Amino acid sequence: MSGKIVAVIKREFLSRAKTKGFIIGTFMFPLVLVLIFSGIFIFGELFKPSTKVYGIIDQTGRLYSEFTDIQSDTLKSGEPKYRFFQVSAEPAGLEAAMNDLKQKAMSEEIHGYMVIPEDVVESRVVYYSARNVSDFEEQESFERSFSWIVTNMRLADEGLPVERIRSAMARGRVSLKSRQVTEEGEVEKSGGASFALSYILTYVIILMIMIYGMIAMRSVIEEKSQRITETIVSSIKPFELMIGKIIGICGLGLTQMFVFGGFLLLIIGYAGPIFARLGVNVPEVATFISTIHFTPTVFMFMILFFLLGFVLYSSIFAAIGAIVNTEDEGQQMQGPLMILIWLGFFIMMAVSKNPETPQAFWVSLFPLYTPIVMFSRIVVSDPILPSGAVLSLFTTVATIVVLIWAVAKIYRVGILMYGKKPSFREALKWLKYK
Amino acid sequence: MNVLDVNNISKQFGDFVAVENVSFSIDEGVVFGLIGPNGAGKTTTIRMIMNIIIPDTGTVSVLGDHDMRTAIDRIGYLPEERGMYRKMKVKDLLRFLAELKSMSRRDAAVAIDYWLERVSLKEWQNKKIEELSKGMQQKIQFIGTVLHNPKLLILDEPFGGLDPVNQNLIKDILMELKKDGMTIIFSTHVMESAEKLCEEIFMINKSRKVFYGKLADIKNEYGKRNILIEYDGDDAFLNSPEILTKDNYGNMAEIQLKKEGDSQKVLRQALSGATIRKFEIKEPSLHDIFINTVGQEARKEAGNER
């Protein structure tokens, strides 16, 4: 490579890498992420839940004891999670009993109360009232308990012996263990987690392509609007300038990708032992981390597809930069390109649920979407390579070669065109210029 | 050896002919003026010399080299449309420009020091471009084009936006560089400054050559040559065969010489019979020549159309 291209690469890279924004973005972002997560755990410890007290008006008189038996969990501190007390609606009537409980809830004596109506077996409704109703996990747990009891009662009404119902119900719960079939055997992997990972990583790729593509565009516009271009192209060919620019800015993106990805691999590999050594035993963290299926292979493909996607889109961004005169015009012209990229994102969401359909195969071979859609297929299929993965690399590279050839022609003419912004058709005519 | 040979180059953008059949060549150490009104084709011609635009027909050879990739490092070019990366430090920018001309790091450092000193901007080397005044930026831009000690220096409207003090500074530097053997192409629409600096002129108008040659020859060729003489005594010299027309006021006369007329012969004849108090050869300015020539062409064109 000529020394002149190296000079351009160095300038594009260093003049941006030295800015505060880049340094903060690259190194502070992972740190901030760690701080946020530690913060969640620290606050979790600070705001430890205490025993919640509920009053229960059981108009059937049959559910209370069974329900409190089931909901007998304890907190980490050893305290019971809930304390229940039964309230009778008898002497003063239901209304008065409820009002009394309401008062107690308002004065924070109790957290809330529940009313089990007499016809609960038929109506299948229990009323729950509390100072706040945001703890959906608790409500689901209560729901399950009541359902279990009511099912039992219904079966008992059918004439089955209570003991048999109990043992049948207890052994009736089934959980789905998902595993992925691979060459090396089966790998435990959950559908939700791999979908979420593909979603997040693809989002990162798209974001990086757009951010750095726009930087490439702005870099061209700066040279054009500040009238720097002619000085530069009197020493270096426009094509070399464009290539140097794309490589230099790509270097910035790669730096960030390596820092982020390396950081993530580090966490997955070492967070558990580090926590253990620090004497922090947080099983939630370990479970969470074990569901992230971010392997070095996925990381490698992430880098590869960022690279391909960036070169593909940044050359289009560079062409837009060469056509327009100001950043405002550039913003307008990049609109359709943005829509195109986001469309790829929505396609990706559909495809990562069904990565092996013919539609998924074909759309992931469409060069503009390969870096997005094929990458997401690779993430959800890892460690198996999805069909067409290798082929897609060749089609994308071939597209890049043709695209760069065309863009270079538009770029060469455009960067020295001042004045009125040409129409798309005029810009296409530049392809024919000698 | 010719530093530059431009051979019958033409360039057309769509329907617009920007340059048509332009040819000239420049010897080493000459200050060459490429002059003409705005939009005449000067910048397109220069861009073709710089290989920024490729001519539709014709060839350019710089320093005897047809391969522009190698020749380009020996040219310095100050474009008319010029600006710099505003966020870069002066020194970093100059180093970048030097690297683009394939200079080694050490040579670049020496040259940057020398030139910053020469234009008295040494203290500003670690400032960002945007912190400099417009005049300072112009000077930085100028030294960016001479850092690598080019054989050929091309300056497109170099004095635009400079105050008189800095104009003088740049002019002095140019004269020094010329003395060291640098060939300079000077493109401008301001004919007075071209007339002061240039030995050879190529005048272009509406994409075509108007005239081309040594400044003195052009003046001989195109100028009406007038003499103002104040005398006491015999006015017989006014009948000299060198003279085309005359206005005699008794002790002062205005004379227009014939095309090949020799002013010095007239002076000698006058001295033989009269006392000469004043003898002034009034040379036509480039501006006059341009107006005359272009005016005639315009009239001819109008006549053809009619």
Dump pLDDT digits (tens) for A302-349.
Answer: 899 999 999 999 999 999 998 888 888 888 888 889 999 989 888 988
Model confidence pTM above 0.95 = no
What is the percent of chain B where pLDDT is above 90?
A: 38
Domain contains A178: no
What is the percent of chain A where pLDDT is above 90?
A: 20
Find chain A residues with C-beta within 8 A of B92's C-beta.
15
The answer to whether residue A405 neighbours chain B at the CB level (below 8 Å) is: no
Q: What is the pLDDT confidence band of residue A281, given thresholds at 50, 70 and 90?
A: low
Domain contains A39: no
Answer yes or no: do A207 and A302 share one domain.
yes
Domain contains A181: no
Alpha helices in A278-326 (DSSP H): 283-291, 296-323
Find chain A residues with C-beta within 8 A of B54's C-beta.
434
pLDDT at A296: 82
Task: Provide the chain B residues 5-64 that lie in CB contact (below 8 A) with chain A.
Answer: 14, 47, 50, 52-54, 56
pLDDT at B305: 45
First to last CA, chain B: 48
Answer yes or no: do A140 and A203 share one domain.
no
Find chain A residues with C-beta within 8 A of B72's C-beta.
234-235
CATH number, domain of A118, equals 3.40.190.10
What is the percent of chain A where pLDDT is above 70?
A: 88
In chain B, which residue's Cα lies nearest the Cα of A230? B79
Whether B92 shows a pLDDT value over 70: the answer reads yes
Is the Cβ–Cβ distance between B248 and B264 less than 8 Å? no
Strands (E), A31-162: 52-58, 82-86, 112-116, 127-130
Return d(Cα B179, Cα B182) in angstroms, integer.
Answer: 7
Answer yes or no: do A16 and A122 share one domain.
no
Domain contains A401: yes
Counting the structural domains of chain A, the total is 2
Whether B304 shows a pLDDT value over 60: the answer reads no
For residue B50 the two structure tokens come to 């710089």
Answer yes or no: do A80 and A227 share one domain.
no
Q: Do A230 and B82 touch (CB under 8 A)?
A: yes
Answer yes or no: do A21 and A111 share one domain.
no
Is the Cβ–Cβ distance between B48 and B60 less than 8 Å? yes
Domain contains A289: yes
* Domain boundary, last residue among A125, A143, A170: A170
* Domain boundary, last residue among A136, A170, A204: A170
Q: Do A230 and B52 touch (CB under 8 A)?
A: yes
Count Cβ atoms within 10 A of the Cβ of residue A26 and give its class: 0-12 exposed, 13-18 middle, 19 or more buried. Answer: middle
- Cα–chain center distance at B219: 15
Domain contains A46: no
Task: Please state which of the ranges A42-46, A356-360, B91-95 shows the lowest mean pLDDT.
Answer: A42-46
Query: Could you tell me the residue range of the domain that residue A119 belongs to?
Result: 52-170
Answer yes or no: do A273 and A405 share one domain.
yes
Domains of chain B: 2-84+140-219 (3.40.50.300), 224-282 (3.30.70)
> Residue B244 belongs to what H/E stretch?
strand B243-248
Answer yes or no: do A301 and A421 share one domain.
yes
Neighbours of B59 (CB within 10 A): 12
Q: Do A231 and B72 touch (CB under 8 A)?
A: no
Whether A130 shows a pLDDT value over 80: the answer reads yes
Task: Provide the chain A residues 6-25 that lie in CB contact (below 8 A) with chain B.
Answer: 6-8, 11, 15
pLDDT at B90: 95
Answer yes or no: do A20 and A74 share one domain.
no
Whether A179 shows a pLDDT value over 60: the answer reads yes
Q: Do B100 and A236 touch (CB under 8 A)?
A: yes
Is the Cβ–Cβ distance between B224 and B284 less than 8 Å? yes
Return d(Cα B116, Cα B142) in angstroms, integer.
Answer: 11
Answer yes or no: do A202 and A147 share one domain.
no
Whether B190 shows a pLDDT value over 80: the answer reads yes
Dihedral, CA of residue B18, residue B22, residue B26 and residue B32, to nearest 10: -50
- The ipTM is 0.79
Q: Do A434 and B56 touch (CB under 8 A)?
A: yes
Whether B306 shows a pLDDT value over 60: the answer reads no
pLDDT at A290: 67
Answer yes or no: do A398 and A255 share one domain.
yes
Whether B303 shows a pLDDT value over 60: the answer reads no
Domain contains A329: yes
Alpha helices in A174-295 (DSSP H): 191-225, 229-233, 238-277, 283-291
Whether B36 shows a pLDDT value over 90: the answer reads no
Strand-strand pairing, B31-35 and B183-188: parallel
Domain contains A41: no
Answer yes or no: do A117 and A241 share one domain.
no
Answer yes or no: do A21 and A101 share one domain.
no
